[in-house]
Structures are given as C-alpha cells and as structure tokens.
Structure 1
Amino acid sequence: MEIQAFGTLNYIVLFAYLIGVMLVGVYFARRQKTADDYFKAGGRIPGWAAGVSVFATTLSSITFMSIPAKAYTSDWTFLVGQYLAILILPIVFYFYIPFFRKLNLTSVYEYLERRFDIKMRLFASMSFMLFHIGRIAIITYLTALALMPFVNIDPLTIVFLIGVLCIVYTFLGGIEGVIWTDVIQGIMLSVAAVLIFVTICFHVDGGVSEVFRLSAEQDKYFPSSSFEWSWTNSTLPVLMIGFLFANLQQFTASQDVVQRYIVTDSIEETKKTLLTNAKLVACVPVFFFAIGSALYAFYSQNPQLIPENFNTGGILPFYVISQMPAGIAGLIIAAIFAASQSSISSSLNSISACYTMDIYNRFGEEKNIQQSFNTARIVTVIAGVLGVAASVYLIKSNESQLWDAFNSLIGLMGGPMTGLFMLGIFVRRANAGSALCGVIAAVVSILFVRGFTDLNFFFYGVIGTLMVVIVGFITAPFFKSKSTQELDLVTE
C-alpha cells in the first residue's frame, strides 16, 4: 500500500499555523524593553497561561508521537510517569517556590551561589545550557525524521521550519511571546489528542468499548510482568522511582520550567500555574495512551492498511495522513510541529536567561539595561543556530541510537542539579565545600555505573541526586558554613 500524499489543503493549514505563530512573536516584540521583560514578562502572565506553558514545554513532539507508538506496540506502563509529576507539585509549591520568589531570581541557579558559591551556580547553569542545546538538536532531528515519510518535505526543510521560526519568534517576543504561543500550542495538543482518539474509535468496529476490550484481552495496560523489580528493565517500580526523580529535576532545578514560577505577579498566581498544569497532566496524556490502544484495535481489524515492513514508531502520523480528512490532518501535523516548537522556544529563552544572568551580568563591569537586553537576544539566536546546526549534522550523518544515549545523560546533568537544590534547601549544615564533594561523588558514580554496569538509565538521576545529598551531609563538618543569618534566608 502507498502512503497517501499530504495534499494542498493540509499544507495550507500547516503553513497558516506557522505564520500565526510568527505573528504572535511580532505582536509581543513591542513589549520587550528590558531583560526583565524578556525573561520575566514584567509579571504580566496570568497563572493559568503559565500553567498551560509548563504543560506544553514538558510535552515535546517526540512524546506526542512516541507515547501512542509505545501503547500500540507494548502497554501503558509509562503512564505512571505522568501522575508522579502531579504528586510532587505540592512539594514544589510549599518548599521551593517561596525561595525562588523571595530571592527575586531570574536564573534559578543564582540561588546556588547565594546558598553555596559561584562554582555551584556555574556548574548547574552550564550543565543546563549544554543539555538544552543538545535537546533542541535531538527534538528537531527526531521530529524531522518522523514526519519526513508522511509530509513529503525534505528533512532539512522541516528543521528550518521548526528551528528558524522558533528562533525568530523567541527573539522577538521573549518569554511573553513564548508563553502565549505555548498556550496556543498546548490547546492544539490537547484538542488534537481528543480528536484523534474519537476519530479512530468511529472507525473501529465496536467503537470505544472494543478498543478497551481488545487492549484488556491482549494485556496491554499494566501486565503482571511490569510489576516485577528489575535493575535493568523499565518495569513499573523502576519507572516510579525514575520518574519521581526526573520530575523533581524538571520542576525544581530546570530553568525552563522554574522560569514560569516568576512570570506571574503573585504567589497565588503561581499556585494557579501548578494547578493548571496538574489538571492538564491528569487528563491529556491518558488520551495519548488511549490513541495507541485505538490504533492497535483499528489496525488489528484492518491489517491490510499497514505497508509491509512499516516502522511502527511512525504509526500516529501514518494514521493521520492516510485516514483523517484533508485539513484535519494538516491541523494534527501542525500540532506535532507545535509540540516541538513549544519545547524548543522554552529552551532558547531559558538558555539566554542563564547565560545573561549567570555569566554576562555576573562577571566583568556592571552592565546597563540595554546591554543585558541586547545580549539576551543575541544569545537566543546563537543557541538556536547551534541547535539547528547540530540537528543538520545528525541528519547528514544518519546517527542512530541517539535518543536513548541522550536520555541516559539526563541523570548525569540533572541528578546532581536536583541534589544541589535539595541539599541547599533542606540540609542546613551543608556548605560550599560539602556541595562540591557531593557533586564530584555524583558525577563519578554515574559515570561508573554507566560505563561498567547494565543498570537502567532511570536510576542515573536517582544516584546523582542522592549522592549529592548524602555526601554533602556527611562532609559538611569538614568545611566552613555560612552564618545563621545568611542560612535563614536560603534554607527551610
């Protein structure tokens, strides 16, 4: 069977979306006067919009396509990660956000200097920047590869459409433009998920009841084998532990998410940010898993519709292009672009915030408002160009096994960062010297288990976080601590 052409109407819908996103950046460009506007939106963002932005930022295009593919080929075990994100939000609100707002931070890593020293601030900030440049490249690369067979667009053109447009509207609109485009993109993602699921169910003989009956019959929800403990496989206990620490990293130590806590004008609005995100996380991801089950039911009844030797990783865009009406299919593909762009634009603005506040403004002569603002925009462009260039390199070199290897490095960078914030806020006796010992121990431990064991990469973040906290606690008496007055400002 040949894959259906994308079609003129679908292209019109897709490009109309891309132009619309660009116009949002242009609209908010007039409000960008200072670095404070560029990174904090002057506190003008309502809490619900910041919450939608957090949701859109954490849901990339790869997630949009890989979750249905995972449910189609396997089961729903990875759903547990979504709900662990909800469980940690009260901890974030009551223990972390008061510090971030009280200290009036732009870069979250400024806290680490106030609590420990400049070395910890630079370690965390540079780790974040390097990781997110790589993340931009990976998301763009994998999105281009996934869409290329279905939209008849050269992968380099897809990279251009995703990457360059992100650079332009982030450069123009700052965090305010990023958040309001995230709102559009988050709504598109949510509507697309529901629309796809409902559409598939109408095409399945027996409807929604048959979808869930067949999945239950084939043991595609939470099979008994997934409840077993394993050091190497991604079973439910491993996923619960791994996602707990991964979500802690994202919501307490990652600039792209934490930055949303400071764009509102009050802590009450920040609370709405977390509640809005929690509501979306509670409802929308379930539809992505349900889509996988619905696709399984549909193609079980219609196996002749799948091409021979088809890569099931692209099962969602394949269904969208081949089965959904013209125009609607274009809207869904636009939603996949949206998922990619929401993650990338957030990374660009956050990288810019880290460099401007943690390096440019921190060292050398004092910078004026215009210098900081100009630097922020320049860094946005440079980070975007580096990410796009890396993505082009990956396409040209035809890299494989990249996503798993890159994911395994999250623990190497994210675990120690999470541990530093946990150590700083909850361990009063900790100090700069013990924090450094903890980071060194964490990095060495993760490199060892990664290089010499088969331990599942979900444990890397756990090891990185706990090593910083434990070693930082044990070694604290060997180093000088801050005064009681200083500690009162930066510890729980």
Structure 2
Amino acid sequence: MSIPAKAYTSDWTFLIGQYVAIAILPIVFWFYIPFFRKLNLTSVYEYLERRFDVRMRLFGSISFMLFHIGRIAIVTYLTALALMPFIDISPLMIVFLIGVLCIIYTFLGGIEGVIWTDVIQGIMLSVAAILIFVVICFNVDGGIVEVFSMSNQANKYFPAEQFSWSWTDSTIPVLMIGFFFASLQQFTASQDVVQRYIVTDNIDETKKALITNAKLVACVPVFFFAVGSALFAYYTQNPALLPADFNTGGILPFYVISQMPVGVAGLIIAAIFAASQSSISSSLNSIAACFTSDIYEKLSNNPTSEQKLRVGRTLTVVAGILGVITSTYLIMSNESEIWDAFNSLLGLMGGPMTGLFMLGIFFRRANANSALLGVVASIATVLWVRSATDLNFFFYGVIGTLVVVIVGYLTAPMFKNNLNSSEIDELSAIKDKHSKTEAKV
C-alpha cells in the first residue's frame, strides 16, 4: 500500500533502494551467513554476549523488539486504513481483529507456521499487484501506453533533480546510501531474517533462499510502483472520483473497493490482509524468540522447553497487544507518510544494532566497554540529529552505524578486553575458516 501511494504522490526514485538490497547480498554470503550458522544460535543477539557481554546482548534484543512493535503498528494501521472509509466498523475494531488473527496463528504455528503462511501470502500479494495494474490500465483512456506517457509527462519516474546531492531530501544518492545501511541491518542484525539462515538444512539452502528472494525483489516491486503510476493516470483523468481531503496513504484500497468488481475487490483486499499477516506474524515470532532466549533464560534457572514455549507464546500475545495499541495511536493521528515513518524508525533503531555487529565481527580490538560507549554515543548522536537538524531520515541509520564502529574502535585501548585472546581468536577463526571454505567453493 505504501509503495503505490509513494509513486502516486511523488515518483519512482525509491525503486532504486530495492536494488541496493540485492547489491549487498555478496557481503552477506561471504561474511555473515557462514558466521551465524557456525555459532548455532537461537537468537542472533547471543553472539553479542559471546563477543562483548550481556549488556550488549540485551541492548540488541530490546532494540529489535521495540522496532518490531513499531513495525507491527505500521502494518496493522495500513491494513485498517484499507477498510476504514468503506465499511461500517470502527477502525479500532478493525485493528483489534487484525491483531487477534495474527496472534492466534503465530501462537499456534511457531516459525514453521510463519514461513509457510509467508509463502502463501507472498504469492497472493504478487498476483494481486499484477491484477490491479492490468485492471487499472483497462480503465484508463489510452491504456498502458497512456499510463506511462502521463507519468513521463509529469516527470514521475526519475527526475533529473533527484540525482543531485541533498542533506534534507530523499534524492537518489541519499536513498542509495540509506538503503545500503538499512538493508545491511535487515540481513545482518535482524532476528526475523537471520533466524531463517539458521533453520535451513545447510548453507546452500540458505543461499538459494536469498537468491530466490533477490530475483523476486528485482521484479515484484516494479509492479507496485507501476500501480502507483496507473492510479495517478486514472485519477488525473477522473479527479471527481476522489473525495475531498482524501488520505493518499489509502489510494490503492480506495480504487480497489470503489472501482473493481465486487468479487475481485474482495480477493484483493484479502491479499492486503494476507500481506499484513505475513509481516506481523514474522515480527511476533521473532520478538518471542528474542525475549525467550535473551531475557527469560537469563532470569530463570535452566527453564524447561515447556516453560520456554509458554513464555514465548505469552510474549506473542503481549507484543501483539502493544502493536495494536501503537497502531491505535497512528489511527488517531491520521498519519499519511507511512513509508517515511517506517524508514525513519528503521534508521533510529537499526543503526546502532548494525554498528554493534560490524564492530564485533570485523574489529578484533573492540571490547565490551568500548562497544557500550559506541552505542551510547550513537543513540545520543542520532537523537540530537533528529531533534536539532533537518537531516534526511535516511542518514539516521548511517550515523547510528558509523558512530558505534568509530567510537567503539577508537576507545578500545582505554579498557581491558572482557574476552581473553583465545575466545576472540575462536570467534575470529569461525569467520576466517568459512571465508576460506567459500573461496575454495
């Protein structure tokens, strides 16, 4: 929903960010996947305790959980936004129903339930995008040629001014840098992605999954941006069909429900629900795994598998409720720039985490206290930048990552390393061994 709305109101420049996510995969293949699989982790933040100390593990895990509660809220809000103007149900009730459904099947199915529902929902979502685009093109006078012609005349693809550097606007150079660090965070420091490296049978299966993902990322987002262009053409030709003071964040479902045949519209709205459930369930499962591994096991004395399962399920419910409450706030504030809000959240929460993993894996001299200083400096810097400057939100993740690495590295000699040299060598050897193995392959 947010991508067509972005293409409808502005242009296609954000599409470039999708390809930046593909470009970082060689880094992930070479350094991170072998490293994480060898460590045999349940939570990726276990590594931070092994490399630094428990404080860094708790910071990484709590940051991840807070970010994904925000993510759940944004996705739930978008789905509620799809129905708010068209059905006689309170938006708060819609949010409640979405939350309950996702909590139930994540509660019962675990990671296997999340993965297989993701497969089904991903197919539904992609087919729906293609179907919507085709239908809109038939309803535009002049068809598909006119859709792209009107977008071109309105300079809605990659305007020349978007190639310039800017500290405040999301121009192409800025979003390429921002998406690089955001994608790095996703693929290297985010439990919901890294847990999928771990549950595959072997490293070849992991790589095959990521390559499949890359192929889909190269194709599917184009249709979502094209849908935004088609909506622009349609409502430019038919401006009277848009209500006054319409929230453009809901432009896609508005067209689907108001202009498409009833049965088809129902299937597409089902696909939107499927997409939201896919995103929410993945976040709920990851939050539960992080809390159980990183906090509950630390506070409990050798808990049994049954106890950990019960706590994980409880956290699934709690996280879902917190996401619903936050989503309620978004509804009351009538937020429309959801894409920007999500990427701003990603930069604020993800940057310090990404920097912490980078510091631990690539800089041997770093230690727990220097890492802590790096994290504190990173959070303070990002919050100051956000409140005192007009710097574009894409820089938040860049600053957060680099400050952790620079401060953590430079201040390391001030402190005694909390790991002995053999422990650091063991962790470094894991990376070196797999790098050599990959080179031979």
TM over 0.5: yes
Distance 1:359 1:431 in 2: 22
Contact 2:249 2:336 in 1 (8 A): no
Percent of aligned pairs sharing the same letter? 75
Secondary structure of residue in 2 paired with 1:307: coil
Q: Which of 89, 93, 109 is the aligned partner of 1:153?
A: 89
1:208 counterpart letter in structure 2: I
Distance 2:101 2:280 in 1: 10
User: Which residue matches 1:489?
Assistant: 426
Q: Which of 382, 386, 405 is the aligned partner of 2:322?
A: 386
Distance 2:105 2:267 in 1: 20
Q: Which of 416, 423, 429 is the aligned partner of 1:480?
A: 416
Q: 1:310 to 1:179 in 2, by over 3 A?
A: same
Contact 1:150 1:317 in 2 (8 A): no
Matched, 1:128 2:46: no
Cα deviation, residue 402, structure 1: 8.5
Distance 1:332 1:304 in 2: 24
Distance 2:123 2:345 in 1: 31
Matched ranges for 1:334-413 at <5 A = 334-392=270-328, 394-395=330-331, 397-398=332-333, 400=335, 403=338, 407-413=343-349
**How big is each residue's C-alpha offset from its partner over 1:414-441, in whole Å with a ceiling of 9 and x where there is no partner?**
1010001111111122111221121111
**How big is each residue's C-alpha offset from its partner over 1:454-482, in whole Å with a ceiling of 9 and x where there is no partner?**
11111011000001111111112222233
Which runs of 5 or more structure 2 residues have no equivalent in the other structure? Answer: 432-441
Query: How big is the alpha-carbon RMSD for the aligned residues of Structure 1 and Structure 2?
Result: 1.8
1:358 counterpart letter in structure 2: D
1:488 counterpart letter in structure 2: D
**How big is each residue's C-alpha offset from its partner over 1:137-193, in whole Å with a ceiling of 9 and x where there is no partner?**
232234313421034432123112211000000000001011111111100111011
Cα deviation, residue 393, structure 1: 5.1
User: Which residue matches 1:24?
Assistant: none
User: Which residue matches 2:137?
Assistant: 201
Q: Which of 234, 247, 255 is the aligned partner of 1:319?
A: 255
User: Which residue matches 2:217?
Assistant: 281
1:390 counterpart letter in structure 2: T
User: Which residue matches 2:405?
Assistant: 469
Q: 1:191 to 1:352 in 2, by over 3 A?
A: same
Q: Which of 184, 187, 195 is the aligned partner of 1:251?
A: 187
Secondary structure of residue in 1 paired with 2:390: coil
Q: Which of 16, 35, 43 is the aligned partner of 1:99?
A: 35
Contact 1:424 1:490 in 2 (8 A): no
Which deviates the most, 312-321 or 72-81? 312-321
Contact 2:82 2:254 in 1 (8 A): no
The aligned length equals 427
Distance 2:13 2:218 in 1: 15
1:489 counterpart letter in structure 2: E
Q: Which of 143, 161, 174 is the aligned partner of 2:79?
A: 143
Matched ranges for 1:45-84 at <5 A = 65-84=1-20
Cα deviation, residue 390, structure 1: 3.4
Distance 1:472 1:209 in 2: 54
Distance 1:351 1:309 in 2: 37
**How big is each residue's C-alpha offset from its partner over 1:326-359, in whole Å with a ceiling of 9 and x where there is no partner?**
2110111111111211111111111100110001
Contact 2:249 2:337 in 1 (8 A): no
User: Which residue matches 2:25?
Assistant: 89
1:117 counterpart letter in structure 2: D
Which deviates the most, 363-372 or 175-184? 363-372
Distance 1:267 1:406 in 2: 31
Cα deviation, residue 197, structure 1: 0.9
Matched ranges for 1:164-175 at <5 A = 164-175=100-111
Distance 2:10 2:289 in 1: 40
1:469 counterpart letter in structure 2: V
Distance 1:351 1:168 in 2: 15
Cα deviation, residue 399, structure 1: 5.8
Cα deviation, residue 372, structure 1: 1.2
User: Which residue matches 1:12?
Assistant: none
Which runs of 5 or more structure 1 residues have no equivalent in the other structure? Answer: 1-64
1:257 counterpart letter in structure 2: V
Contact 2:136 2:230 in 1 (8 A): yes
1:150 counterpart letter in structure 2: F
Matched, 1:212 2:139: no
Distance 2:345 2:93 in 1: 29
Runs of 4+ in 1 over 6 A off after TM superposition: none
User: Which residue matches 1:329?
Assistant: 265
**How big is each residue's C-alpha offset from its partner over 1:25-84, in whole Å with a ceiling of 9 and x where there is no partner?**
xxxxxxxxxxxxxxxxxxxxxxxxxxxxxxxxxxxxxxxx12112212211011111111
Matched, 1:419 2:355: yes
Contact 2:106 2:114 in 1 (8 A): yes
Matched, 1:176 2:140: no
**How big is each residue's C-alpha offset from its partner over 1:258-305, in whole Å with a ceiling of 9 and x where there is no partner?**
111112111111111101111111110000001111112222333333
Distance 1:133 1:214 in 2: 39
Secondary structure of residue in 1 paired with 2:86: helix
